[in-house]
Structure 1
Amino acid sequence: MALIEISLPKTIAKALRLPASSPRRQQLKVLKKLLKKARFTEFGQRYRFDEIMLSRHPGKKFQQLVPTYNYNSIYKEWWHKTLEGKPDICWPGKIKYYALSSGTSESASKYIPITEDLLKGNRVVMIKQLLSLRHYDGIHYSNIGKGWLMLGGSTQLQKGRGYYAGDLSGITAKKVPFWFTPFYKPGKKIAKMTDWNDKLDEIVEQAPNWDISFVVGVPAWIQMCMEKIIERYKLKSIHDIWPNLSFFVHGGVSFEPYKKGFEKLLAKPLTYIETYLASEGFIAYQDRQYAKGMKLSINDHIFFEFVPFDDENFDAEGNMLPSAEPCMIHEVEEGRDYAILISTSAGAWRYLIGDTVRFTDVDRCEVIITGRTKHFLSLVGEHLSVDNMNRALQLASEEMNVSVPEFTVAGIPHGTFFAHQWYVASDDHVDADQLCSKIDQHLKVLNDDYAVERTSALKEVKLQVLPEHIFMDFLASKGKVGGQHKFPRVLKGNMLQDWQTFINNKI
């Protein structure tokens, strides 16, 4: 039975009918739905949700009455109450689940509220993406109904005082819909395992018993899993054991650095499908095969605002300024970087998630992820984004025909001026000086500010090549193995010091 043929509940089927109204109207409808549901909460009463709903311009009124938050501010003022078991704080009822998230740079865990309403919205978006596959070239419906290997966090959640906490992928897997269970791998028993290496070993052991057509997860961990399977069974490619493997659903980081390494493991091309699933919600998904960006989930369970990511709205550390002026979906421009504020069906209100995006198609509401508000380098005004770094490294590695799946960059002193220090992962033979020079040259073309500063205060660019396992070993030393954990593309502060100490001890 093909997955695409399964009949869905009428309520979900209704939600899947894409409305013809404008993005602005869709978003205002979502906002009103969120406000109506949360108006009797402590937050809703404080910020007069009833008054906002009755306003002629609810979006603008919402922005006037409700302050913006980051994790620290909303936790200190509101979310800590939900962890104490108090109901009706930012969303109706008690919060029973929390996604543990530390982003990619901070060591302390963040407790992100997860509600049934949020999970339901996430599932609707997932189904929309699934149904969009019918428009892909060469699609075989039989493949959609085969196995889906979802490599996420453990479903064995931590028990708190009246709540459970864990990786979002673990919470999602624990609540897999009944109709998806026949297709879901590695299955509930393996998914429950907490030790990443034990889980990986068990997946490798069971691999011959599965007929996998989809793999879903963070590129680094999926690649590691496939390499172990190929090594264990002495295969030429992963298709020797999974001949129907056709799709890779990925997200969280740019896939380009991993693509060359992936292709070495394959006997035939895969269709790559990008998603944007954060702990706070399913934000966007690729709904067209050759789209440059992902379609925002504008008519489901998230209300979006966008803050231009520039010096007028953010300080040098990536903190949003009190004077920042967010805009709504109908006010954005193509080609400009924005930080995202979201309001969700889990009680996140005007919440800065820390990601930056750029609109590739305003009419279709399609975006690409360009980095994070904290993960950029602007020591002297070079305004170097993760998107710039990804692109420059991709071009340089293609020219040199080498695979560089991981990298990170740090700003360091250079006399009385500054330098950029690159650390790249590769098991190929790489001329570090040549790669460094090529990256530098490409960045000068990609980023005018960078080109200017390379003639003044940004005096040097350095590059060190490290074995691939060093990056994974460092994540393991921080307890960030598997699941949604990703290596930070920019290192600062304590994390940079820890990294430098780690590699000095390893090399």
Structure 2
Amino acid sequence: MAIIGKLIKAGIGINQKLNFDFTNDDNPQLNQLKNLLSKAKDTAFGKYYGFAKILDSDDIIMAFKGEVPIHGYEAMHDQWWCKQQIHPDITWPGIPEFFALSSGTTGKSSKRIPITDDFLQSMRDVGRSLIKELPNFDFPEEVFESEILMLSSSANLKENTEGYLEGEISGINVSNFPGYYDLFYRPGKEIAAIKDWDERVAAIVKEAPNWNIGAIAGIPSWVLLLLQEIVKRHKLKSIHDIWPNFAVFASGGVAYETYRTDFDALCAKPIAIIDTYLASEGFFAYSSRPDSMAMNLAVNHGYFYEFIPFDSRGVDETGAILENPVTLTIDEVEENQDYVLIVSSCAGAWRYSIGDTIKFVNLKTNEIMITGRTKFFLNVVGSQLSEEKMDAAIIEASQKMDVSVNEFSVAAVKNENGEYFHQWIVVTDDEFDCTKFKDLLDKSLTEANKNYKVARSKALKGVKVESISKETYHGFLAKSKKKGGQVKTPKVMTTEKMNEFLEFIKK
């Protein structure tokens, strides 16, 4: 019996049972907004939009919506955040010590998101809330005395000319780990600081036999690649040959389901999957119960949320937010309706559109699921395909052909006659019949989505599928500088980017 693990597990269980809510907070989101406005009322942003006056309003939420516009990244950065790199008290008190570089799934370059001390604390608080839910999963005691492998971006942060440090959010988090994390955190700060992704992976693979890993956290695509390299290098039958206590994978960044089959093939026994919603803009949600990919929204942790219906009430036919969209609070939303997530946070983001779409699957527990990105919405000819719908069709076609497809890219492209078709590139190392997969994919989307069915009978004249190996795919990512532990690659491409991808494959 693992005595230390048993004690830790018991301690977490007692903590969960004693975690009473003494505040009797009937409206946590209203109180979060009040706290945010109060802390930022003397900043330049707070004075410009009259936060003090909003706080005196009879209806604070309505006044907030009426005074503060919805911001995309360009508006928030160009008008406010760029000044916050130099001057204090712009959108949040003080000057941020860090700026997070987004992984750049949308747009041509990385975004810089301010990371304040209050924001770092909010992310730690959400992490503690997740830990309090671990007794629900009934993990074996051995997990609690094992080590945690976090596949982050580089923790070697770059010092900007203005004096702040910048890097991806996972690297910033790792660089701020307290000293006692060295007892259980792997690969450790020395390896985590290696800038080159391939060199970092090689170092992790080499050290893997020296670790006792019970849990792994990271983006599925890159974690899968790492585990496959470890199994190959050390000539293992499964990852459990080297890490017998591995029982938990904290997934995030992209949907896990298209990777499930390959993860199962690497494991000698079942592992629990905890889904997380951790972005450069915040740690917003986490799974709190087994056998579910739904996540509890963090409503008491320094974020105020609004939700824009992802339909004609809130967005246009391309998925772009309308000039005056309907915006709802958490007590006004419906289950199984897609919403664009809008966040105000203790990083100094105000009514900020992250670019994600989510849906509520349980309003009683505030459980959500991520359904995609607004920029990953394929609707050039009215097909109205969200990332969630495309993932489901890929999984269904893969299962019927008994093949493994983790990644894919798709674009609406014109043929020589000026007619639109969907060009898909699927990534697989299995023997693959592109024609059969194309027919299954087209059939699945037609049967499941009425808008796609209408598009296929009118403007969408066809579907093409091309398959490539994972090696070729990773070569394209390296060429596009999209390689790394926290990089999320785009599934929906522009015509130009798809043509570039196809040209790379030909060469």
Shorter-chain TM-score range: over 0.9
- CA positional deviation for 1:107: 2.7
1:168-207 equivalences in 2 (<5 Å): 168-207=169-208
Partner residue, 1:277 = 278
Helix, strand or coil at the partner of 1:411: strand
Out of 481, 484, 504, the position equivalent to 2:483 is 481
Partner residue, 1:425 = 427
Closer/same/farther in 2, CA of residues 387 and 440 from structure 1, 3 Å limit? same
Partner residue, 1:454 = 456
Partner residue, 1:62 = 64
- CA positional deviation for 1:483: 2.5
**Conserved 8 A contact 2:98-2:114:** yes
Helix, strand or coil at the partner of 1:130: helix
Partners in 2 of 1:6 and 1:188 — Cα distance?
29
Closer/same/farther in 2, CA of residues 319 and 14 from structure 1, 3 Å limit? farther
Partners in 2 of 1:493 and 1:327 — Cα distance?
34
Partner residue, 2:73 = 71
Partners in 1 of 2:266 and 2:48 — Cα distance?
55
1:157 aligned to 2:153? no
Partners in 2 of 1:42 and 1:15 — Cα distance?
41
Structure 1, residues 123-158: CA drift from partner, whole Å, max 9, x if none?
111111122110114x21331231100011111111
Helix, strand or coil at the partner of 2:54: helix
Partner residue, 2:115 = 114
- CA positional deviation for 1:394: 0.6
- Structure 1 unaligned runs (5+)? none
Closer/same/farther in 2, CA of residues 74 and 58 from structure 1, 3 Å limit? same
**Conserved 8 A contact 2:92-2:347:** yes
**Conserved 8 A contact 2:223-2:485:** no
Helix, strand or coil at the partner of 2:276: strand
Partners in 2 of 1:156 and 1:215 — Cα distance?
21
**Conserved 8 A contact 1:318-1:373:** yes
Partners in 1 of 2:181 and 2:128 — Cα distance?
11
1:491 aligned to 2:493? yes
1:137-148 equivalences in 2 (<5 Å): 137=138, 139-148=139-148
1:68-467 equivalences in 2 (<5 Å): 68-83=70-85, 85-137=86-138, 139-160=139-160, 161-414=162-415, 415-467=417-469
Partners in 1 of 2:442 and 2:177 — Cα distance?
46
Partners in 2 of 1:118 and 1:295 — Cα distance?
19
Structure 1, residues 48-91: CA drift from partner, whole Å, max 9, x if none?
111112222111111111111000011111011012x1000000
**Conserved 8 A contact 1:132-1:287:** yes
Q: Which amino acid aligns with 2:90?
A: I
**Conserved 8 A contact 1:16-1:124:** no
Closer/same/farther in 2, CA of residues 210 and 288 from structure 1, 3 Å limit? same
- CA positional deviation for 1:101: 1.1
Partners in 1 of 2:485 and 2:140 — Cα distance?
29
Helix, strand or coil at the partner of 2:91: coil
Helix, strand or coil at the partner of 2:409: strand
Partners in 2 of 1:462 and 1:28 — Cα distance?
49
- CA positional deviation for 1:480: 2.1
Structure 1, residues 296-354: CA drift from partner, whole Å, max 9, x if none?
11111111000011234223333211121211101111111100110000000000000
Structure 1, residues 256-285: CA drift from partner, whole Å, max 9, x if none?
111111111111111111000000000111
Two-structure CA RMSD over aligned residues (Å): 2.0
- Structure 2 unaligned runs (5+)? none
**Conserved 8 A contact 2:208-2:230:** yes
Closer/same/farther in 2, CA of residues 20 and 390 from structure 1, 3 Å limit? farther
Partners in 2 of 1:504 and 1:18 — Cα distance?
60
Closer/same/farther in 2, CA of residues 240 and 292 from structure 1, 3 Å limit? closer
Partners in 2 of 1:234 and 1:292 — Cα distance?
32
- CA positional deviation for 1:495: 3.1
Partners in 1 of 2:499 and 2:80 — Cα distance?
33
- CA positional deviation for 1:193: 0.8
Partners in 1 of 2:505 and 2:20 — Cα distance?
52
Q: Which amino acid aligns with 2:330?
A: I
Helix, strand or coil at the partner of 1:463: strand
Helix, strand or coil at the partner of 1:44: helix
Helix, strand or coil at the partner of 2:266: coil
Query: Structure 1 length normalisation: TM-score?
Result: 0.94
Out of 39, 44, 47, the position equivalent to 1:45 is 47
Farther-moved stretch of structure 1 (434-443 vs 494-503) = 494-503
Q: Which amino acid aligns with 2:351?
A: R
Partners in 1 of 2:209 and 2:65 — Cα distance?
54
